[in-house]
Amino acid sequence: MNLTLALPAVLLAYIAGSIPSAVWAGKLFHGIDVREHGSGNAGATNTVRVLGWKTGIPVLIFDLLKGWLAAMLPEFLKAADSGTEQMMALQIACGVAAILGHIFPLFAGFRGGKGVATTFGVLLALQPWLTLICAGIFLVVLFVSGYVSLGSMTAAVMFPVLLMTAFDTPSLLFRIFSVLVAIAIVVTHKKNIKRLLRGEENRFLRKKKE
């Protein structure tokens, strides 16, 4: 591993993750801070709720891409040999830095989102096919239940389960990372869990009245 490239890569990943797309899009195109409306979260879901699909979808794509680019940065910089555990460790470090940047953004007073889309981008870079399967699981749960939070948590938990049962992944470090990601996403949704249990969680997709 080339430390002269590895350390700047992690720093750049955090800076990229810190770009608060939801906050900037809200202020630039609508003159409001999305964190002061809806759920108070600077993420794509709240952006769609508060500002609509035309703003929310670009925010979602941007947040996803910054996670993907952060995890791929060590490969682009050739900071370690491809396919090695060192490369995987560095990619995970950059991915975590980007996720932390999204949650605690340098450019938005360290008040960001939950990092689900950015995490998806990181996982898409590291294990694309499994990530796409989990995206499908998310969509199924979303359309059946109407809850983004439930879909996110279900997909997050299923990722390590499927990784260790249906996919051949030699990296122990990545397996550990996948479990930690699932735990982190569930923990960041603890308020949503309480609202779900009380029947007070807002549906992202509202079921049609019969």
Residue 90 one-letter amino acid: L
58-105 pLDDT per residue, tens:
999 999 999 999 999 999 999 888 889 999 999 999 999 999 999 999
What is the SS3 assignment for 115?
Answer: coil
Q: What is the pTM of this model?
A: 0.89
Tokens of 200: 């007070």
Q: Exposed, middle or buried, 104 (CB in 10 Å: 0-12/13-18/19+)?
A: middle
What is the SS3 assignment for 38?
Answer: coil
**pLDDT band, very low/low/confident/very high, at 28 (cuts 50, 70, 90):** very high
> In sequence order, which ranges of 53-206 are alpha helices (DSSP H)?
53-77, 85-103, 116-126, 128-145, 148-166, 172-188, 190-198
